[in-house]
């Protein structure tokens, strides 16, 4: 559900993705046995959280903003990863599964909820470039950047010529000082 209490058609993808994925890579017994990596933010992220229980705060949901409505789920016990992305013509296909509602928005919403998974998504078994254990890291790990003096948590420090630096000082960040 969107914060304005509206439901967007794209929010039904995560529900189907999450449920299909949990069946495919194995049931999770606790929230921390699944890592979800989503490729966009917004209401899609909210839908993934609701469907899977994975959250950024619990470090079981990560956003890699590539501008794609897609998600990769990794079973942390087996390191098995499955990527799901909606098929390109999904909006048109959904209309065939909807009732006679002439409003495209509602027809898509209805169609996405009843479409077979194979018509909704492309599925790819993938291998993460960075091991899931490294993405999750150790929540109690702490270091101090030798340049800016800020604390670095979760093993995100970088060693440059034996000097501990945060990634911003070592590589540049998403901002610049003015």
pTM exceeds 0.85 for this model: no
d(CA 16, CA 4): 22
Residues 14 and 69 in one domain: yes
Side-chain half-sphere exposure of 98, counting CA atoms within 13 A: 20
pLDDT tens for each residue of 44-88: 888 888 888 889 988 899 999 999 999 999 999 999 999 999 999
d(CA 47, CA 68): 14
CATH number where 143 lies: 3.30.60
CATH number where 84 lies: 3.30.1330.130
Question: 43 vs 3, which has greater pLDDT?
Answer: 43
Residues 27 and 13 in one domain: yes
Q: Could you tell me the CA-to-CA distances from 45 to 34, 54, 68, 82, 148 in Å, in that order?
A: 15, 10, 11, 17, 32
d(CA 100, CA 51): 28
Domain count, the chain: 2
pLDDT at position 62: 94
pLDDT tens for each residue of 8-55: 555 555 555 555 555 555 554 445 688 999 999 888 888 888 888 889
pLDDT at position 30: 47
Region 86-96: mean pLDDT is 89
Pick from 24-28, 58-62, 105-109, 158-162: least confident: 24-28
Instruction: List the one residue out of 164, 138, 166, 163 whose CA is nearest residue 152.
Output: 166
Radius of gyration for the chain, computed over Cα atoms and rounded to the nearest angstrom: 19
Residues 34 and 61 in one domain: yes
- 112, part of any domain: yes
Residues 90 and 105 in one domain: yes
């Amino acid at each position: 559900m969107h914060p304005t209490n509206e439901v967007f058609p794209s929010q039904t993808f995560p529900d189907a993705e999450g449920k299909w994925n949990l069946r495919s890579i194995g049931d999770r017994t606790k929230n921390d046995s699944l890592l979800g990596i989503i490729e966009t933010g917004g209401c899609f992220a909210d839908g993934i959280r609701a469907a899977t229980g994975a959250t950024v705060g619990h470090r079981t949901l990560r956003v890699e903003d590539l501008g794609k409505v897609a998600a990769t789920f990794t079973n942390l016990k087996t390191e098995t990863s499955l990527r799901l992305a909606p098929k390109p013509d999904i909006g048109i296909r959904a209309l065939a599964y909807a009732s006679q509602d002439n409003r495209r928005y509602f027809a898509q919403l209805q169609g996405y909820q009843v479409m077979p998974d194979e018509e909704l998504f492309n599925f790819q078994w993938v291998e993460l470039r960075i091991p899931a254990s490294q993405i999750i890291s150790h929540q109690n790990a702490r270091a101090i950047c030798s340049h800016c003096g800020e604390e670095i948590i979760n093993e995100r420090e970088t060693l440059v010529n034996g000097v501990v630096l945060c990634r911003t000082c070592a590589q540049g960040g998403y901002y610049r000082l003015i």
